Amino acid sequence: MTKPILELKGVCKRFGGVVASDYVDFSVYPGSIHALIGPNGAGKTTMLNLISGIYQVDEGEIHLGQQQITKLPAHQRSRLGMGRTFQAPRFLQRANIRENLLIAIDLKDQTGHVRSFLGKGIVGFESELKRLVEVAELDLDLEDDITSLAYGQSKLLEIVRAMLARPKVMLVDEPAAGLNGNEQGRVIALLKLAAAEGIGVVLIEHHMDMVLSTCNEITVLNFGKVIAEGDPQSILHNEHVIEAYLGRKKSC
């Protein structure tokens, strides 16, 4: 029985009077693509922010592998293998593509600044990058400004960058938003590659067909509470889920 790579136990988060997360239990296993779905405002992005450490939990525990990371600051969680992408890609606007990606390699290697200063430069970067770029079907000139990328390209590059750091867990926030069918296919290919390499992928996504075809596990949130959990087929027919999205039918 494999242990989860990411585990949340009884996690609560309140913003003033609003309960964003209500005693949430959540487990992600290595190599799985685990979707987090729910109507708007259900608390999905809040969950990602709690897991990555941008928000601190009010109650509960978070474990990454064997380690408790509940009190750790966000940057330390990243260093322990917490990867993250954002709905609106967060790149360094004034750097070129190469520098933006090298930051991920810095995170992967974690050799420290002194060694980086004295060292010969980054080894193995090009080959690492190549396999990811091939799957993502990106044709890149590394010297280009990051601002020259089209929207779809930048979304794909966000995922590539996260994967370059070889994380244990990857939190992916609406990667398909605004992408056409072809680009969505490439996103799926990247996520499947990540899972194949043992990364536990947590996916927030509204495109149901993408969720159903890609994920092997789904957790449904509503009003900060977990209302259903299971494989895609069972979730599809779960009446709580249907009610949450569509409302209950009034009996006449």
Partner 1 sequence: MREKKKIFKILAVVVICAAFTLLVPKLIPNQYMINIVNNALLYFIAILGLSVMLGMGGQVTFSIAGTMGIGAFFTAIFCVKLGWHPLMAILGSVVATMAIALVLGLALCRLKGSYFAFGSIALVHILYNIMLNWKPITGGADGISGIPKLDLVFYSCTTKENYFYVFIVVAVLCGMIVGRIRTSSLGRSLASIRDNEIAAICMGVNIYQTKVISFIIAGAFSSLAGSLLAFQNTNITAELFTFEQSAIFLVMSMLGGIESTIGVFVGTILLTVMPEWMRVLASYYKLVYGIGVILLMIFMPMGLAGLVQTIYKKIKRRKKAKMKASGVGS
Partner 2 sequence: MIIQLLLSGISMGMIYALMAMGLILIVKAVGVLNFAHGELFMLGAYITYMLTVQMGLPLIPMLICGLILFAFVGLMFMFSVYWPLRNASWPVTITISTLGASMVLKELARFIWGPFPLKAKPIISGALSFGKITLEYQYLFIIGVSMLLILVVFVLFEKLYIGKIMQAAAQGRYAAELMGIPIVVTIAATFMISTCLSGIGGWLSAPLFLVSQSLGSMALKAFAGIVVGGFGNITGAVIGSILIGLVESYSSLFTSVYRDAVVFLVLIIVLLVRPQGLLGERISEKA
Pairwise CA distance, residues 159 & 162, whole Å = 5
Site residues for partner 2, 4-63, by CB under 8 A, read: 45, 48-49, 52, 54-55
Partner whose binding site includes residue 78, from partner 2, partner 1, none (CB under 5 to 8 Å by kind) = partner 1
Cα 158 to chain centroid distance, Å, stands at: 10
**Binding-site string for partner 2 from residue 79 to residue 118, where x marks contact by CB under 8 A and - marks none:** -------x------x-------------------------
Least Å from the CB of residue 54 to partner 2: 5
Which residue, 169, 225, 177, 227, is CA-closest to 205?
177
Instruction: Give the nearer residue to partner 2 in terms of CB position, either 11 or 195.
Output: 11
What is the footprint of partner 1 within residues 23-82 (CB under 8 A)? 52-54, 74-76, 78-79, 82
CA 197 and chain centroid, separation: 15
* Distance in Å, CB of 49 to partner 2, minimum: 5
Using the rule CB under 8 A, is 117 a contact of partner 1? yes
Phi-psi region of 137 (alpha: psi -120 to 50; beta: other; left: phi over 0): left
Single out the residue of 90, 130, 131, 240 in contact with partner 1 (rule: CB under 8 A): 90
Q: How far apart are CA 136 and CA 149, in angstroms?
A: 14
Distance CA 78, CA 100 (A): 16
β-partners of residue 203 are: 35, 172
CB of 227 to partner 2, least distance (A): 24
184 contact choice in partner 1, partner 2, none (CB below 5 to 8 Å, kind-dependent): none
Q: Report, in Å, the least distance between residue 100 CB and partner 1.
A: 9
Q: How far is the CB of 250 from partner 2 (least distance, A)?
A: 36
> Between 21 and 49, whose beta carbon lies closer to partner 2?
49
Residues 6+ apart with CB under 8 A from 98: 142, 143
DSSP structure string for 6-59: EEEEEEEEEETTEEEEEEEEEEE-TT-EEEEE-STTSSHHHHHHHHHTSS--SE
Binding site for partner 2 (CB under 8 A): 45, 48-49, 52, 54-55, 86, 93
